[in-house]
Chains A and B, each alone.
Chain A
């Protein structure tokens, strides 16, 4: 993934400016920054869900502005601020739904739930589960889809230590497969432990910190 002088505006307001960011295979980059600095927009831009309106961008070999981003989206995994579960479905049903939409064998769901420690809660409705449990299901999504580009936006916020360990393991497994990860967090210690380098986003501009 590479952004060169990229800029993003939302509703006419510039959010990211003169963005230079590259992510090599097997690399993970941490991004810290205050609230409102554009971290979520950066993640959504890397996920091809928001298009840059200035500069150039390449994500998994395509230009998300000129090419059809749907070609690569299935290779991108994202955990955002809010869990994307369907409240009325059980945890197992949520995962099976994801597997079916992504053409993945639904028989892998049980194993994914086991890895994230939710086998006993598989038949519980998502709306009856804690935030942490819902986050674990999202980690299980990514175990099923095995993305090449992993994007975590405050994914570890509010999680217990074992869930944070799962996120760490997820980042390492993506890197080991030759993929890349961008991890956004306020927790600088976590970024330093998970990432090859840590950048700081301040008022829409990235700065190297280490």
Chain B
């Protein structure tokens, strides 16, 4: 029970801080929506083409800015705060889970706002039954990105080049998420089915969650 109390407390405080600072809602979301609006301009405002590639643009912009949300959240920890948590007996795995809960809340909210923005701006060609799939896939991608961001934050704690290094860690490891996301939507109108791609996303999310919890304790000691 103590594990979950600590995880919930860390998530609660992270979200309180986000509510007061508003870095996701007031900074990242507006920039990401503007990026979505700018893409059609580069295509010469051909509306049919915009509708055709709208979902692809959504994934590109969503994943790039989603990484920022995930990394920004995990970069909040200072050495002093980590030392204090260690001396309060906070389980590093509980901290990982807490960070994951707060980060996933923000990243999922971010992706859902982007999804609505994409629907309004692009009127994309989404096959019948495609919107629930897009929503599910967005949530799975957001969760996976948050796990990667939290893990990268743990690995790079205390390094001066933290933000650069964390981005370099997250970008290649996000490939299964990018492939799963794009292919699941591609597979919708075909007979092949989306199940293998959704399973790829679920497997990636589960593997990252297990890795995060299992590595939290050794990482905490190794990064001091």
Give chain A's interface residues, CB within 8 Å of chain B: 44, 47, 49-51, 70, 73-74, 76-78, 80, 82-84, 86, 88-89, 93, 97-98, 100-103, 141, 145
Contact = CB atoms under 8 A, between A and B. Distances in A.
A49 B2 contact: no
Interface stretch (B15-23, B28-36, B43-51, B163-171): B15-23
Contacts of A73: 86-89
Size range of the chain B interface in the assembly? 20 to 34
Interface string B1-20: 01001100110010011001
Contacts of A97: 9, 13
Interface stretch (B75-83, B123-131, B143-151, B179-187): B75-83
A98 B84 contact: yes
B85 to A, nearest CB: 7
A185 B205 CA distance: 48
A103 B84 CA distance: 14
A86 B88 contact: no
29 contacts: A47-B83, A47-B87, A49-B83, A49-B87, A50-B224, A70-B86, A70-B89, A73-B86, A73-B89, A74-B88, A76-B87, A82-B78, A82-B80, A83-B80, A84-B80, A84-B81, A86-B81, A88-B17, A88-B20, A89-B16, A89-B17, A97-B9, A98-B84, A101-B85, A101-B88, A103-B5, A103-B89, A141-B84, A145-B88
Contacts, number: 66
B60 to A, nearest CB: 32
Contacts of A141: 84
Contacts of A74: 87-89
Contacts of B5: 100, 103
Nearest to A94: B13
Closest 5 CB pairs of A and B: A74-B89, A84-B80, A84-B84, A102-B88, A88-B17
A82 B81 CA distance: 10
A78 B13 contact: no
Nearest to A102: B88
A100 B83 CA distance: 16
Contact of A78 (B9, B10, B87, B224): B87
B174 interface: no
B57 interface: no
Contacts of A84: 78, 80-81, 83-84
B215 interface: no
Given A49-B87, A70-B91, A83-B80, 13 more contacts: A51-B221, A70-B86, A70-B89, A73-B87, A74-B88, A84-B81, A89-B17, A93-B16, A97-B9, A101-B6, A101-B88, A102-B89, A103-B5
Contacts of A89: 13, 16-17
Contacts of B202: none
B194 interface: no
Contacts of B6: 101
B90 interface: yes
A93 B5 CA distance: 16
A76 B86 CA distance: 10
Contacts of B87: 47, 49, 73-74, 76-78
B188 to A, nearest CB: 42
